[in-house]
Amino acid sequence: MDFELTEEHLAVRDAARDFTQSILLPGVIERDEKMEFPKDQIAQLGELGFMGMMVDPKYGGGGMGALSYAIAMEEFSKVDSSSSVCVSVCNSLVNYGIEQYGSEEQKEKYLVPIARGEAIGAFCLSEPEAGSDATSQQTTAEDKGDYYLLNGTKNWITNGNSASMYIVIAQTDKEKGHRGINALIVEKGMEGFIIGAKENKMGIRASDTHTLLFNDVKVPKANRIGEDGFGFKFAMKTLEGGRIGIAAQALGIAAGAYELALAYSKERKAFGKEISKHQAIQFKLADMATNIEAARMLVYKAAWMKDQGMAYGQASAMAKLYASKVAMEVTVEAVQVHGGYGFVKEYHVERLMRDAKITQIYEGTSEVQKIVISRGVLKD
């Protein structure tokens, strides 16, 4: 068992770390405050190849593995989860879904521009009445022969206004249940496709989260991904990999908060000495470091299993469940270590605490992860 990172992994980590400190950190507080999408930063991430890390080079990607991707996600998320979630959606959901299950025409038209950093994609599964219960899709895609007539509402959609293409999960045949669901590629600007207001969120405030409305949108049959009725399986398989990205994001949020708390504890003095010399703080730092390292092992293992071609659904669920729990616990403690300074925006940890919560909710709540894990445990 080899725990050493390869030269590629180290190079990715260093490049992501440098980018985070030099490009993402400046202005991150203001972008959070104003809910300002990091358009320029995302464009630069695209130019550097981070928006298509795992895509085959023949489609304009970097050809890297899931572990390299997880390492990059961790670094970005130490400072700016509003940017890292955009990286995650493009890599884990949109790129993976199209490359794995799309036609060659779809790959050339939609995958290549995203992999090259020239466009952004979105993944549209959640609805007002169907979040965790993805089988209860109310959005319909009525088969009209050579096209589908799309009607319905999707909400909490990351990159909702910034994307140029959207993978939309919709019900074609209700009698078939989850076997009657399709995945369709919708382009921005299609007639009847309306982008709703941006959500005013607690965390990841700069990310571009919108409600999307579809009113008699005509989607060509050529834009269906996979066979008729493949949509639900497509969504579930894609989300398995998505969990690795969000687990890595949670890991990064925790690690970023810990690093800030550690540095602060060596500077701040109380009762005549640095607070890092008080056992109460030492024990907090010890717990934080241990839990982060345990989360990192779960995240890296899930990514490694994906790279090895092994079944990784249960591992990715465990990684997301645990890393998101650690993110919440560590960020709360990081604020506590900072005391009153942790409660103000200037010191960053309060933002990380707000950002942490969403990692327990999106791409499958912690409760859904427990369902996935328990099914795997009881199957044997």
**Cα–Cα distance, 40 to 37 (Å, whole number):** 9
Annotated catalytic residue: which of 74, 99, 350, 363? 363
Residue with tokens 């996600």: 73
φ, ψ (nearest 5 deg) of residue 244: -65, -40
Q: Which of 146, 201, 246, 193 is nearest to 351 (CA)?
A: 201
**Cα–Cα distance, 76 to 255 (Å, whole number):** 11
**Cα–Cα distance, 173 to 180 (Å, whole number):** 4
**Cα–Cα distance, 117 to 19 (Å, whole number):** 16
Q: Which of 254, 298, 318 is nearest to 67 (CA)?
A: 298
Q: Rg for the chain (alpha carbons), in Å? A: 21
SS3 content of the chain, % helix, strand, coil (to 5): 60, 15, 25
What DSSP state is assigned to residue 4? Answer: P
Is 363 an annotated catalytic residue?
Answer: yes
Region of 178 (left: φ > 0; alpha: ψ -120 to 50; beta: rest) is alpha
What DSSP state is assigned to residue 284? Answer: H
**Cα–Cα distance, 102 to 106 (Å, whole number):** 6
Q: How open is the CA angle 147-127-40, to the nearest 5 degrees?
A: 85
Q: Please list, in sequence order, all residues whose beta carbon lies within 8 angstroms of the beta carbon of residue 374, skipping any fewer than 6 positions away.
A: none
Strand partners, 181: 171
Q: Which of 160, 186, 182 is nearest to 173 (CA)?
A: 182
The alpha carbon dihedral of 48, 50, 54, 58 has a sign of negative
* DSSP notation for 60-106: TS----HHHHHHHHHHHHTT-HHHHHHHHIIIIIIIHHHHHHS-HHH
Question: Which residues participate in catalysis according to the annotation?
Answer: 363
